[in-house]
A and B are shown apart, each in its own frame.
Chain A
């Protein structure tokens, strides 16, 4: 699985959009970009994933560059409850033969939403 690079920390004002970057320059053609977040002392929570098209769900949007070497997670209107560590992970989809389904977590980005 490809390695990802994220800034260690970011701040965002409440109500503003939070844009969290992730670099994954060694991503392979069959690897997806996944985003999870972990609120203190809780289990990680899945946010969104994508292959090459931009994706949006009720939680966030995922923008993947055309060369797929980087992506941005967008929380459109950050709230205090969005304060968490955000992990960007790249991996093949579980359905591929031989895939164990395991995730490799880096240290993530600590997002602090401020009032």
Chain B
């Protein structure tokens, strides 16, 4: 069965960086676009970024203004999200997703001093 397992979250100070990972299994990872979606406490779902199956094309939410970078390693079946210049409003649960079918369990990122 499809599994998406996020890791790398935690508490980070404002202006610092953090990299999330998502280990995929149960499907041919290299054949599918992949995405990150986040959810701030008590708020709705927000699409963050997406990447083509081959990693060539990247897409981002306008609100991120170049601070986040999505990437993938198809040899490792792993998706990444590099987050820079983190702010308090980046505090959220981050989900890895194979739209429109599968979601990871989520990983909490807390930006706080």
Q: Do A and B bind each other?
A: no
- Interface residue ranges, B against A (CB under 8 Å): none
